[in-house]
Amino acid sequence: MSQSFEEISAQLKKRHRRSARMKWMTMGALILSAAFLVVFISDMVVRGWPAFQQAQLQVEVSYDEQSQKLPLAAVDEDVRPLISRGFFRSLPREMENNPELMGTTQTRWVIADSRVDQFLKGNEDRLRPADKETLQALVEDGRAALKFNTTFFTTGDSKMPELAGIASAAIGTVMTMLVTMAVCFPIGVMTAVYLEEFAPDNRLTQLIEININNLAAVPSILFGLLGLAIYISFFGVPRSSPLVGGLTLALMTLPVIIISTRAALRSVPDSIRHAAFGVGCSRWQVVRDHVLPVSLPGILTGSIIGLAQAMGETAPLIIVGMVAFIPDASISITDASTVMPAQIFTWASEPNSAFAEKTAGGILVLLAVLIFLNALAVWLRNKFERRW
């Protein structure tokens, strides 16, 4: 006898309830992870935002013979302790470069000392009472203000927080990544092409495949040790250089690129290969003219993600000495250099609150770059994705 709708519905109710419950639980999981992300990013923004601002003071600067010899004399004694030492240091060069300034007195904005900066941001009060009074007067006159911190984006590290910037670390990162990509993109893609398109499917290639997958799971610090042992100790590549850092990261990124390229190649339907073989293509022609063009977006996406991973890597680079103190960036891949995550690491170990905000600011810059790279990967995938 068949069941009535009532009977069936009674039983269904329980099933529907369960699926509703599952829906809420899965949605809860999503909300939880989204919440973590929001908290993390907003915390970083709140802490890092001040790093993009810098206190500046409007003062009278007299460019005369005395201040050329003794830069401290260029400004009034009262405000002198409020101004960054970096300003005084740069003064003689400025006068040398602009002789027409000689003998004039200019009213201009100069970078304030980090104690002023921190005081104005309400973080730390390490000013002497007398200086504080001078500062308050300046603030009332509108001659002390927080302005956009261009220095942060144009200079390298410094012992003076108000002069420390991310630029040389960013250049170091770019150089390192160039080395990494130059090494592991061609090698990785060619290895994957060989394994997917040319190699016979035998024990040896299976063994290689397993080992490549294992390699991708090796903790990155081990690659740092390997880099130290091989590149620095054996081949004598200069320590701390983008060359050694890039080569070390290449070891780490190579399996990622091989694996993602193989996946991209494997996702090309065999019907395309058959069509190409059918018209008399040689194996390489099949790969070059038909398989690679179709899988290129996938290969690029995988490589960019591998690159982004390498870019955030710190441990192996610390081992090969890329935590150097680099005030001025060099664009040679053999000179000592640092990278963004290592710079962040350096700043994070400073006790000073001025450096703490640099840490968060640096993280924001790094995050922005990584988000940009990932967005680029997604965009590439969508733009060139084809149906066949």
Partner 1 sequence: MNDTTLQNFQTQQDPPTASKDAARDPYTQAPTPDKGQPVTRNENVEENLSVRVRDLNLWYGDHQALKDISIDIFANTVTALIGPSGCGKSTFLRCLNRMNDLINSVSIKGLVEMDGHDVNARGMDEVALRRRVGMVFQKPNPFPKSIYENVAYAPRMHDMVSRKADQDELVERALRDAGLWNEVKDKLHEPGTSLSGGQQQRLCIARAIAVRPDVILMDEPTSALDPISTATIEDLMDKLKKDFTIVTVTHNMQQAARVADYTAFFHLGEMIEYNATKQMFSNPHTKKAEDYITGRYG
Residues that bind partner 1 in the complex, under the rule CB under 8 A: 200-201, 269, 271-282, 285, 289-290, 293-294, 386-388
Contact 339, 172 (CB under 8 A): yes
Q: Which is nearer to partner 1, 272 or 370 (CB)?
A: 272
In the chain, how long is the greatest CA-to-CA distance? 111
Q: Which is nearer to partner 1, 81 or 293 (CB)?
A: 293
Q: Which is nearer to partner 1, 174 or 380 (CB)?
A: 380
Q: Which is nearer to partner 1, 1 or 279 (CB)?
A: 279
Contact 331, 171 (CB under 8 A): yes
Q: Which is nearer to partner 1, 106 or 382 (CB)?
A: 382
Phi, psi of 354 (to 5 degrees): -65, -35
* C-alpha angle 307-312-316 in degrees, rounded to nearest 5: 95
Q: Which is nearer to partner 1, 69 or 386 (CB)?
A: 386
Rounded to the nearest whole angstrom, what is the least distance from the CB of residue 296 to partner 1 in the complex? 12
Could you report how far apart the first and last alpha carbons of the chain are, in Å?
50
Contact 67, 91 (CB under 8 A): yes
Tally helices (H) and strands (E) across the chain: 16, 3
- At 295, list the tokens: 């899988």
For residue 34, the Cα-to-chain-centroid distance in whole angstroms is: 22
Contact 254, 188 (CB under 8 A): yes
- At 61, list the tokens: 């600067």
For residue 122, the Cα-to-chain-centroid distance in whole angstroms is: 28
Rounded to the nearest whole angstrom, what is the least distance from the CB of residue 377 to partner 1 in the complex? 21
Q: Which is nearer to partner 1, 47 or 273 (CB)?
A: 273
Q: Which is nearer to partner 1, 103 or 269 (CB)?
A: 269
Q: Which among 350, 377, 370, 139 has a CA at the least distance from the CA of 264? A: 377
Dist. CA 194–CA 119, nearest whole Å:
61
What does each C-alpha distance from 276 to 193, 251, 261, 288 come to in angstroms? 16, 35, 20, 11
